[in-house]
Structure 1
Amino acid sequence: MPPYTIIYFPSRGHCEVMRMLLADQGQSWKEEVVTLDVWEQGTFKASCLFGQIPKFQDGKLTLYQSNAILRHLGHSFGLYGKDQQEAALVDMVNDGLEDVFRRIAWHYLHICISFADYRLLDLLLNLELLFPGYLKDFPLLSAYVARLKARPKLKAFLESPEHVNRLLAACIKM
């Protein structure tokens, strides 16, 4: 029996990163699926620390909170940097990504815009130029990009020759 158990909804959500890490490290794990019906009944939810899942078991150790689980796995498999300084940098990048995804999720639920949206849109559109089709695997990001690109004035700019014909990056000799 595998030492790892992932208890989560029947979706990728917060657990897909854990699954990818475990798979890449040649580990097997057991899945316990929590249906929405079971979750809404409240008994299982009440048994979870913070009233949340994912819940992760590594032998006798039970963890909640996806980032705590990822840090544990990172330590377990030597994926947390070679020293405290590198670990701090890994934490910084992970926390930054968490902020980005929270922001995207917030925008998915609330239609509002800030200057940070233009920066994120620019990043995502540039990545799409470099790696065509990458957004198809990220439905929330795809919806976010589509929603912003549908704004009439922004749409007109993005379709204009001034934007379309502009180089992605300039090569400058120093």
Structure 2
Amino acid sequence: MSAKPKLYYFNGRGKMESIRWLLAAAGVEFEEEFLETREQYEALLQDGDLMFQQVPMVKIDGMKLAQTNAILQYIAAKYNLYGKDLKERALIDMYVGGTSDLMDPLLRYPFFQPELKAGQLNTILQKAKNRYFAAYEKVLRDHGGNYLVGNRFTWADLHLLEAIITVEEKCADILINFPLLKGFKTRISEIPTIKAFLQPGSQRKPVGDEIYVQTVRAVLPAITFLTTN
């Protein structure tokens, strides 16, 4: 029996959260080692575990994988969540890339200076509505199915659900003018493995608080934090 994947990151969302979502959706149990001190980070460096001196890092199938997209693509392909052919994978990559563009400022949001947060949040919400959610509403309308790509659940659907729920934490009625996305959210949230992950007590992480922010700043050198993959 192969060992469970082991995730190395902070006890918070960041770039690792989408990896947690994907493993959970695939029904894969995983372990986590939380970075809490600079010494832990330096020990990983000394052991050669961090190829680019960055986290996230995941130990899986005898590999030490760095780079978030590489980790996600491997997991999606391994658990048959990456489309049936090259064309579907291209669409999945495109949709995941767009969703990641929306998610990136939300992941950085806890680290913004207080005086900038209101303006930044307004920009994020406007882009969510006018650029990203409008685009995905059209995809669902044009595709005419329950999913973004093909006729089955893929990584692209999961990543969009994560983004919707994350944005809703900032603006509960963000989907008021997007009926297809509202139905999509309800439908994908009912997939048993995802439904379990959304329940209290799962390995899903809460919105980053000041403790999380201070831990990241204390553990990572500034240049590594700014370029964490």
User: What's the TM-score, normalizing by structure 1?
Assistant: 0.60
Q: Provide the residue aligned with 1:31 in structure 2.
A: 32
**Alpha carbons of structure 1 residues 23 and 104: separation in structure 2 relative to 1, 3 Å:** closer
Aligned-residue CA RMSD in angstroms?
A: 3.8
Q: Provide the residue aligned with 2:57 in structure 1.
A: 55
Cα deviation for residue 2 of structure 1 reads 2.8
User: C-alpha separation between the residues in 2 aligned to 1:105 and 1:76?
Assistant: 26
Counterpart AA for 1:86: E
| 8 Å Cα contact 2:9-2:55 kept in structure 1 | yes
Q: Provide the residue aligned with 1:2 in structure 2.
A: 3
Cα deviation for residue 97 of structure 1 reads 1.6
Q: Provide the residue aligned with 1:89 in structure 2.
A: 91
Q: Provide the residue aligned with 2:103 in structure 1.
A: 101
| 8 Å Cα contact 1:8-1:15 kept in structure 2 | yes
* Larger RCO, structures 1/2 (Cα 8 Å, 6+ apart): 2
**Alpha carbons of structure 1 residues 121 and 86: separation in structure 2 relative to 1, 3 Å:** closer
**Tell me, what secondary structure is at the counterpart of 2:52?**
helix
Q: Provide the residue aligned with 1:158 in structure 2.
A: none
Cα deviation for residue 105 of structure 1 reads 5.1
**Alpha carbons of structure 1 residues 83 and 30: separation in structure 2 relative to 1, 3 Å:** same
Cα deviation for residue 69 of structure 1 reads 0.5
**Tell me, what secondary structure is at the counterpart of 1:15?**
helix
User: C-alpha separation between the residues in 2 aligned to 1:32 and 1:88?
Assistant: 33
Q: Provide the residue aligned with 1:159 in structure 2.
A: none
| 8 Å Cα contact 1:45-1:52 kept in structure 2 | no
1:138 aligned to 2:162? no
Q: Which moved more, 1:94-103 or 1:66-75?
A: 94-103
User: C-alpha separation between the residues in 1 aligned to 2:55 and 2:8?
Assistant: 7
Unaligned runs of 5+ in 1: 127-133, 146-166, 170-174
Note the alpha carbon deviations across 1:62-111, whole angstroms, 9 max, x for none.
11112111100011011111100110111111111221223445676373
**Tell me, what secondary structure is at the counterpart of 1:51?**
coil
Q: Provide the residue aligned with 1:71 in structure 2.
A: 73
| 8 Å Cα contact 1:2-1:30 kept in structure 2 | no
Counterpart AA for 1:22: L
**Tell me, what secondary structure is at the counterpart of 2:3?**
coil
**Alpha carbons of structure 1 residues 2 and 90: separation in structure 2 relative to 1, 3 Å:** same
Q: Provide the residue aligned with 1:22 in structure 2.
A: 23
User: C-alpha separation between the residues in 2 aligned to 1:23 and 1:32?
Assistant: 17
Cα deviation for residue 115 of structure 1 reads 7.7
Give the length in aligned residue pairs.
138
Counterpart AA for 1:118: Q
User: What's the TM-score, normalizing by structure 2?
Assistant: 0.47
Cα deviation for residue 19 of structure 1 reads 2.0
| 8 Å Cα contact 1:6-1:55 kept in structure 2 | yes
**Correspondent of 1:120 among 105, 114, 128:** 128
